[in-house]
Amino acid sequence: MESFFICGGNRLEGELSIQTSKNAVLPILAGCILCDKDIILHKFPKYEDTLTMLNILEDLGAKTFIYDDCVKIQCDSISKSEIPVSLASKIRSSIFSLGAILSRFKKAKVPYPGGCAIGARPIDLHIKGLKQLGAKIVDKHGYLYCDGTNMKSGVVSIDFPSVGATENIMLASVFLKGTTKIINCAREPEIVDLANFLNSLGAKISGAGNSIIEIEGVTKLDGGEYTPITDRITTGTYVLATLICGGDVTLSGVNCEHISSLIHNLKNNCCKLDIKGDKLRVIANKRPKAISKIETQPYPGFPTDLQPQIMAMLSVARGTSVVVENLFESRFKHVSELKKLGADILVNDKTAIIKGKSMLYGANVVCQDLRGGAGLVLAGLVAKGYTTVDDVFHIDRGYYHMEKDLQKLGANIERITKA
């Protein structure tokens, strides 16, 4: 078992280049299923999840080659329409492949996906959307058996602006003759990035980033090269790390519009945020202040993927804060672990009340999920004494060697192996 061993108390100083977005790359990799020519993705992030997605493409018949910071995907040999349980169980994003496989082969057999246990996260929105396009889907023995023979373009209305459902329906619609309109779409930057990627290969998608997306069907996609966007959640994580520890950190390669809700919540919060182009400088020399209320919402609202990290910051803020989790019913699993470090947090249903403490104290804590694990690391960075964060394989799913990034900024953290 691998863990992070942290000696808290160091200020963070220096500059850090932000990695490519995991949540952008995963649907883009699924989009490669639609191609029969080579794709090259630049600045490819070697997260556990992205490597698993490459394994899924290889199982479908693709050939992949990682060199330097790029990955080359030979898509012409993709021939299978079934994903094995052994791979699908590792990541929830395996479900993105369903729409793309249906689009290319008119049939698919896909197991229910895995991923972090942060709530039910049902895929009924995916299934309902694909059925509105004419797909026949049977749920049997843990698999979705899908027939896309009679799929046609049309209007798809999503009950809730789900990122995954929006992306899946987009992928399923690329080759449908006529125009498909998706209503009540999610608006996340990763959806815009998927549309830009597909359009660069010859797709005709408009409206991404708004509540209505239109896809005019094409007959084929070409190969090409593409550079996905950088990770807004990683950016936000290191912004909050700087506030927690104090320091002067410059993050490069960022798009501050993608974290506008975080920036808004940190306005006048004992820190200075200096934005110049794709660089964000964070200067924090005082204990942060409480935030009266934060509610997680679909983009452009405050992201649920930053909720554990900002809760860690609020645990050492001056005053009392309220955090409301509106998206995932099990996304407070990190609270019990933060309490081991001395945090004063009371949870009632989907609401957490955090009374900031002047000091947290090191302890042994356990990651329950990816973002909750990141929040525990941030708390450990400021806690007095030594903190051990176990089961960091969760963190590795979305941060590439997080400990090395933090070491560059002066944090006293190392990866250790425990028997």
- Alpha-helical (H) ranges within 106-162 are 124-132
H or E element, residue 391: none
Coil, helix or strand for 323?
A: strand
Identify the burial level of 266 via C-beta atoms within 10 angstroms of its C-beta, where 0-12 means exposed, 13-18 middle and 19 or more buried: buried
Dihedral sign for Cα 397, 400, 404, 406, please. negative
Coil, helix or strand for 298?
A: coil
For residues 45 and 69, the answer to whether their CB atoms sit within 8 Å is: no
Catalytic residue among 116, 185, 245, 271: 116
For residues 363 and 378, the answer to whether their CB atoms sit within 8 Å is: no
For residues 160 and 125, the answer to whether their CB atoms sit within 8 Å is: yes
CA 322/CA 337 separation, integer angstroms: 18
User: What does each C-alpha distance from 118 to 11, 95, 303, 333, 398 come to in angstroms?
Assistant: 31, 17, 14, 8, 15
CA 161/CA 163 separation, integer angstroms: 6
**Sequence-ordered list of residues with C-beta below 8 angstroms from that of 277, at least 6 positions apart, any chain:** none
Strands 212-216 and 204-206: antiparallel
Q: Which tokens sit at 319?
A: 């005053």
No. of helices (H) and no. of strands (E), the chain: 14, 23
For residues 291 and 262, the answer to whether their CB atoms sit within 8 Å is: no
Active site (annotated) includes residue 256: no
- Identify any residues that bridge with 251 across adjacent strands, giving them in sequence order: 16, 280
CA 128/CA 126 separation, integer angstroms: 6
- Identify any residues that bridge with 323 across adjacent strands, giving them in sequence order: 294, 352
Residue 353: count of CB within 10 angstroms of its CB: 14
Active-site amino acid positions = 116
